[in-house]
Amino acid sequence: MLPRPPAVPLSAAASNPLQRLITLRWIEIVALTVALLLGGAYFGMALPFAALWGVVTAMVLINLATLGRLASGGEPASREMLLHLSLDLLSLTALLYFTGGSVNPFVSLLLLPLTIGATMLALVDVGLLTVLALACYSLLMFYSVPLPSPEGGPLAEIDQALLALTGIAHGHEAHFSGHGFGLHIVGMWLNFMLSALLISLFVSRMAHALHHRDAALAEAREQALRNEQILAIGTLAAGAAHQLGTPLTTLTVVLHELRLAYAGNGELDADLALMEHQVKNCKEILSRILSAAGQDRHDGGALIDLHVLVNDSLEQWRLIRPAAHCTLAGALLADPQLPAPQVFADRTLEQALLNLLDNAADASPSGIEVRYGWDATSGILEILDDGPGIDAAIAGHIGKAFVRSRKGGLGIGLFLSNATIERFGGKVELLGRPEGGTCTRITLPGIAAPGRRTAP
């Protein structure tokens, strides 16, 4: 069994929601640090700085612990995310408790963990987080350390200037009895701006990451279904190979007896010899199928020169279809000095190429043309035919099983060939030709052979 090409991992920021929580906490920690330094050193506010610095330190420790969890790998479950968001909610509640409680203009930041949780938690966990948020807000209405009044100093001057600037000095400042209503209004504006930025930045990125994850899961499910189809077809093929052994052996015996019986008939003897040769080819093909099915998993292929792979495949195909006409054209690339690559191949890849050659020959009885080359990273093989081209109705389903073509085929050969080549990290493309017919382009990942100047 061939090893699959390694999948390209998503970055931690794109796949793990803990990374976004860590980033959000660092932003909060930096903003709080700046606010506390300004409040204490510049404005001289009488706040419980020891308690506030203790909360900031706890947030730093939580973030460091989360970094350790992130390094262990794996996406968190819904309950684990509930724990992290609950810690964020409690941290915000502690900060608000020491800075005015529910009258703090930044109290609506309690909605941020809830908003993030609504995009990624299970329904029950969202309900639990909502209950916790309501409980925190309700407690802040009754229990909190009041904010000091901006009496004298820079804050008082800024407060009066803001009241005059906003035009509410004679309307609502009495509600706060001179306790910094202008600062409260500006704080509400800053809170709205900050909340809008955080929600638009982090929640939208989370939704985008979830969308990509859903797309990856859908692709994985589709790949699993394709693998099931391949397994079913392979099982049927193995059974058919065992069952065909007996009639082919019978045909070999009968043809040999007929040749002995009509030894003097030259024309009939030639036809019988051709039939014997074709039956022998069929038996060899079945033997290769059964041998490949039972080969050791760790002996699934080897590196081979691209031109050797192409020439060997064409030689085998000409033995199977001696009447078909095939022309091997020149190189695809203009630079013949580019070192020829090696590709990883085994019998299944060779069989995939034979299937694609058969499809082209069936579509173009007048003959086909093969050309190949390489670039810095890939080996490229093109099979050109003069057939009727690709059906527009099935163009989007090429490479899938049981897609019926104009000639009545079910597309199983193309489906298996495409799946095999994709297993090697390559791809198959069917392209229309301007002069008519189809170009079947096979791209295989190549390993450069330094120092070699072999050209096809």
pLDDT in tens, 159-168: 555 555 555 5
pLDDT of 360 higher than 60: yes
pLDDT (mean) for 209-230: 76
pLDDT in tens, 79-132: 889 999 999 999 999 998 998 887 787 788 888 888 888 877 888 888 898 889
Predicted local distance difference test score (pLDDT) of residue 410: 46
Predicted local distance difference test score (pLDDT) of residue 182: 47
pLDDT (mean) for 227-238: 67
pLDDT (mean) for 32-51: 80
pLDDT in tens, 244-271: 777 888 888 888 888 888 877 778 888 8
pLDDT of 400 higher than 70: no
Predicted local distance difference test score (pLDDT) of residue 455: 36
Predicted local distance difference test score (pLDDT) of residue 26: 92
| % of the chain beyond a pLDDT of 90 | 9
pLDDT of 63 higher than 60: yes
CATH 3.30.565.10 residue window(s) in the chain: 302-448
Predicted local distance difference test score (pLDDT) of residue 72: 82
Number of residues that this document lists for the chain = 456
Stronger pLDDT, 275 or 44, i.e. the higher one? 275
pLDDT of 374 higher than 70: yes
Give the sheet arrangement for strand 378-385, strand by strand.
326-331, 368-374, 378-385, 438-445, 427-432
pLDDT level of residue 454 (50, 70, 90 thresholds): very low
Sheet strands (E) in 266-414 = 302-305, 326-331, 341-345, 368-374, 378-385
Predicted local distance difference test score (pLDDT) of residue 164: 56
Predicted local distance difference test score (pLDDT) of residue 392: 62
Predicted local distance difference test score (pLDDT) of residue 158: 57
pLDDT (mean) for 48-75: 89
From its phi and psi, is residue 206 left (phi > 0), alpha (psi between -120 and 50) or beta? alpha
pLDDT in tens, 297-331: 444 568 888 888 888 888 888 888 888 888 887 66
pLDDT (mean) for 129-148: 85
Q: How many helices (H) and strands (E) does the chain have?
A: 13, 8
Greatest mean pLDDT range, 195-209, 219-233, 435-449: 435-449
Average of per-residue pLDDT values in the chain: 75
**CA 314 to CA 68: how far, in whole Å?**
56
Predicted local distance difference test score (pLDDT) of residue 201: 65
Residue 6 to residues 185, 215, 423, Cα–Cα distance (Å): 55, 18, 10
Predicted local distance difference test score (pLDDT) of residue 13: 41
Predicted local distance difference test score (pLDDT) of residue 83: 93
**CA 421 to CA 443: how far, in whole Å?**
8
Predicted local distance difference test score (pLDDT) of residue 252: 82
302-448 CATH: 3.30.565.10
pTM greater than the 0.75 cutoff: no
Picking from 242, 297, 281, the residue whose alpha carbon sits closest to that of residue 1 is 297
Predicted local distance difference test score (pLDDT) of residue 30: 92
